[in-house]
Amino acid sequence: MKITVLGAGPAGLYFGILAKRADPSHEITVLERNPPDATFGWGVVFSAETLGSLRDADPPTYLEITDTFARWSAIDIHYRGTRLRSRGHSFSAIARKRLLAILQRRCREVGVDLRFGVDVSDPARLREQADLLVAADGVNSLTRRSAPEVFRPTVTPQGGRYAWFGTDLVLDAFTFIFRETEHGLFQVHAYPFDENTSTFIVECPEPTWRAAGLAEASEAQSIAFCERLFAEDLAGHRLMSNRSTWQTFPLVRNREWHDGHTVLLGDAAHTAHFSIGSGTKLAMEDAIALAGAISTNTDLEAALVEYELARQPVVERFQQAAGESVGYFQRVGEHTDREPIQFAFNLLTRSGRISHAALTVRDPDFTRVLDSWFSGTRGLAPPPAFAPLRIGNTLLRNRIVRTVPSADAGLVLTEAVAVTPDGRRGPDSPTLDTEQKSFVDEVHRLGALAGLRLGHAGPRGATREPTRGVDIPLPAEQSWPLIAASALPYGPRSATPRAMVAADFDRIESAFATGARQAAEVGFDLLELDFAQGGLLAGFFSPLTNHRTDEHDAGPAGRVRFALSVLRAVTARWPAARVLAARLSVTDWARGGLPVTDGIEIARALVAGGVGLIHVVAGQTVAEGRPTYGRGFLTTLSDRVRGAVGVPTLVGGYLTSVDEANTVLGAGRAELCLLESPSTDLDRQVWPG
C-alpha cells in the first residue's frame, strides 16, 4: 500500500514506523513543512500506562525513549508560601526535540521516506496519489479544515491564556506554582524533561492576562514579567522562549475521523488540555491503534472504522477529564482561602481521575495529613466523611447524609413534608399533621441528627405516587386546587395553579412558622426549607415560573421577597441554636432560566436572611429542562456556591460511595454529602436461568 503521512510530529512518525514494521511492502512517505530539527515546545510527559503500550508496539524506540527519560514520582504544589509534596505518582518526560530525533532515526532505519520542507497546500491532491493519507498535521490540521463537511470538527478555545516556556531550572517533581498578583492568580505547570531543562507553562485567566498588560507585551517583555513574578521559584534561573507566545488552548473534536482513505491522527483529530498532559500520549496511542487496525484488516475501510471505534471512547474520557481540569484552573482563584493541604488535595483530585482512596494507595502519608488536618486531630484521624462537623452550635458526628435512618449517617433527612395540605406532592405525602416523633427517636437512637425538609409543592402538587412516574396528575376527582407564583401548569397535563394573592402569602408564611415551631418541639436538629426544583417558594426565583408584575416580580429584589419573609417567620420560631438549611436550585438548567450566577445571588440573600447551610441542587424548575447527569453531577455547583457565598453546603447528585464523599469533602467542595441509598436491585438472573 502507498501511504502518505502528513506531518512529522510524534503521531505521524510513530505511525510510519509501526506500519512499515508490520508490513515492509508498504511505501510510506512522511511529508513535513518544517526542517527536521525545528520543533516548538519543550518536554512532553508520559504515564506508566502509555509506556507499556510503547514497549509492546516497538521495543527499540521504547528502549531509546526510556533511556533518555526524566522520571519522577512527586507532585509539588507551591501555594501561599508553602510547598506541599505528594509522592507515589509516576511520570516520565522527554524533550520533544529528542523524541522526534529518535523517531526520525527509527523511521529511516525501517525504511520510511522522510521529506522535510515540503509545504502541502492541497491535501486532496495527495489523497489521489496515495492508497491511504494519514493526516497527522496537528492541531491546525489543513486536512481537517479543508473538509469540514466530512469530519464535522468543532474547535473551541478552553481555559485561560498560557505560554509554554523552558527553563534551566531542573525540577525533581511535577510542579504547580500559584502566585497571587494585583491582577489575579497566575499558575505554573512545570516538569523536568532532561538533565538540564524543565518545561515551565505559565497560565492565567484571560481578564488577568489583559489586566497585567500581557496582551500588549512583546515576547521579551512577557518573559521578563514571568521571570519577575516567579523569581523566588526560579531561584536565579532563567526562562527560555521557543516561539513562546500567549495562546489559548483549543479543544478539537471531530465527529468523523476518516473520510474514504483519509484518516486523522493525533491533534488533528482531537485535543484534551495541557493541564492533564496527554497530547503526545494520545497521539502515539492513536498511531499504535491505526497501524494495528491496518495490519489486521484486509479491508481498509474496516480498518479505519476499527481505529475510530477503538480510539474515540478513550479520547472522550480524556476530554471529559480535561474539561474538569480546565474548569478547575479557571476557577482556582476562588479557592485561595483554602488551607494548603486542602488546596493541594483539591488540585490532585480536580479531573475526577484520582479519588481519596486512589490517592491513599499512591501516597498514604498525604491523605493521612489531609485527614488529620480535616478533622483537627493529631494522630490517627478518620477520613473526611467520618470527621465530625460543627455548624453553629450543632455538632454532627460525621458528614454523611441519608434519607433513610441508617447507622452510618451523621444526618438523616425526612422526605418533603408539606406545610399545608395543598402543598402535598400526592395524597399520601406527609404534612405537619403526620406523626414525626418516631422518626426523630429512631434517628437519634442510631446516633445521628434528624432533619426535617419543609416545603410546599406549589404547581407540582396533586400528583400520583412516584412508583410509576412523577408529575403525573391525579384524576380530577382526587385532585385539589393548586397555587403558584404565576398561573403556569408544571407539566403537560398538570392542572393550572392559581397565582398567589395576598391572603395566600399570609397563610403560607404562617404555615411555615407553624411548621418550624412543630419541628423544634418534636426534636428535629435541623430544618431544611425547600426553595428548590419548581416548588412554591422556588417558583418566585425564576423568570420561567414567575410572570408577576407586583412587588414579587422576577427582578433581583422581587424574586426573593417572599422567600425572605418566610425566612423571617421561620427564624422567629426555629431555635437559633439549631441548623436552618435551604434546599436551593442554583440554576434552572433550562433555556431562558436562571444561570448559576443568579442562583449564587439568591443563595447569598438566603444566607443573609438567616440560613446557615445551603443544600445545593439544580434544575426541575420546569418540566422540560436540560440537566446534566452523571456521577457527582452537582459537586461543581456546590463548590461554586460555597466559594462565592462562604456558606457550608450539602450536596448529593448521585454520590454512591463513601470514597466519593471523602473526595468531595476533603477537597472542600461541600461540608456534607447526601449519599444514595444502597440499591436493592441485586436479584439479577444469569442466562439461561
Partner 1 sequence: MRLGIGLPSTTPGTDGAAILDWARTAENSPLTSLAVLDRLVYDSLDPFIALATAAAVTQRIGLATMIAIGPLRGGGLLTKQAGSLARVSGGRLTLGLGVGARLDDYRAAEAEHRTRGTRLSAQLTQLRTEPDTEEVELLVGGTSGAALARMARYADGYAHGGGPPRAFAAAADRARAAWSDLGRPGAPALWGQGYFALGGAADLEAGQAYLRDYYAFTGPFAAKIAAGCLCDARSVKDFVRGYQEVGCDELVLLPTSSDPAQLHRLLEVLGE
Catalog residues that contact partner 1 under the rule CB under 8 A.
Answer: 150, 256, 258-259, 301-302, 305-306, 308-309, 313, 464, 466-473, 475, 491-493, 589, 617, 619-620, 623-631, 633, 652-654, 676, 679-681, 684-689
Judged by beta carbon, residue 473 or residue 666, the one nearer partner 1 is 473
Output the CA torsion sign for 319, 325, 329, 335.
positive
Burial class, 110, CB count within 10 angstroms (exposed 0-12 / middle 13-18 / buried 19+): middle
Q: Which residues contact 640 (CB under 8 A, 6 or more apart)?
A: 331, 334, 586, 596, 600
What is the C-alpha to C-alpha distance for residues 478 and 463, in angstroms, rounded to an integer?
9
Judged by beta carbon, residue 213 or residue 466, the one nearer partner 1 is 466
Judged by beta carbon, residue 502 or residue 686, the one nearer partner 1 is 686
**Shortest spacing between CB 311 and partner 1, in angstroms:** 12
**Shortest spacing between CB 301 and partner 1, in angstroms:** 7
**Shortest spacing between CB 666 and partner 1, in angstroms:** 22
**Shortest spacing between CB 256 and partner 1, in angstroms:** 5
Half-sphere exposure of 315 (CA within 13 A, CB side): 28
Judged by beta carbon, residue 236 or residue 688, the one nearer partner 1 is 688
Judged by beta carbon, residue 317 or residue 445, the one nearer partner 1 is 317
Type of residue found at 421: P
What is the C-alpha to C-alpha distance for residues 376 and 387, in angstroms, rounded to an integer?
9
Burial class, 59, CB count within 10 angstroms (exposed 0-12 / middle 13-18 / buried 19+): exposed
Judged by beta carbon, residue 427 or residue 491, the one nearer partner 1 is 491
Closest CA to 559 of 603, 623, 527: 603
Judged by beta carbon, residue 189 or residue 258, the one nearer partner 1 is 258
What is the C-alpha to C-alpha distance for residues 346 and 220, in angstroms, rounded to an integer?
34
The length of the chain in residues reads: 689
**Shortest spacing between CB 587 and partner 1, in angstroms:** 12
**Shortest spacing between CB 312 and partner 1, in angstroms:** 9
Strand partners, 198: 167, 192
Judged by beta carbon, residue 477 or residue 681, the one nearer partner 1 is 681
Judged by beta carbon, residue 117 or residue 466, the one nearer partner 1 is 466
Type of residue found at 501: V
- Answer yes or no: are the C-beta atoms of 638 and 418 closer than 8 Å: no
**Shortest spacing between CB 255 and partner 1, in angstroms:** 8
**Shortest spacing between CB 464 and partner 1, in angstroms:** 8
DSSP 431: B
Q: Could you count the other beta carbons within 10 Å of the beta carbon of residue 314? A: 14
3-state class (DSSP) for residue 413: strand
**Shortest spacing between CB 664 and partner 1, in angstroms:** 15
Q: Which residues contact 578 (CB under 8 A, 6 or more apart)?
A: 392, 393, 394, 520, 524, 525, 526, 527
Residue 278 has φ and ψ, to the nearest 5°, of -135, 0
What is the C-alpha to C-alpha distance for residues 390 and 399, in angstroms, rounded to an integer?
10
Specify the DSSP element, H or E, that contains 123: helix 123-129
**Shortest spacing between CB 491 and partner 1, in angstroms:** 6
**Shortest spacing between CB 327 and partner 1, in angstroms:** 17
What is the C-alpha to C-alpha distance for residues 548 and 158, in angstroms, rounded to an integer?
39
* Residue owning grid cell 476557577: 331
3-state class (DSSP) for residue 581: strand
Judged by beta carbon, residue 152 or residue 238, the one nearer partner 1 is 152
Burial class, 526, CB count within 10 angstroms (exposed 0-12 / middle 13-18 / buried 19+): buried
Cell digits of residue 219: 515576547
**Shortest spacing between CB 673 and partner 1, in angstroms:** 13
Judged by beta carbon, residue 233 or residue 471, the one nearer partner 1 is 471
Type of residue found at 303: A
What is the C-alpha to C-alpha distance for residues 523 and 414, in angstroms, rounded to an integer?
13
Judged by beta carbon, residue 497 or residue 652, the one nearer partner 1 is 652
DSSP 473: B
Judged by beta carbon, residue 180 or residue 301, the one nearer partner 1 is 301
**Shortest spacing between CB 177 and partner 1, in angstroms:** 35
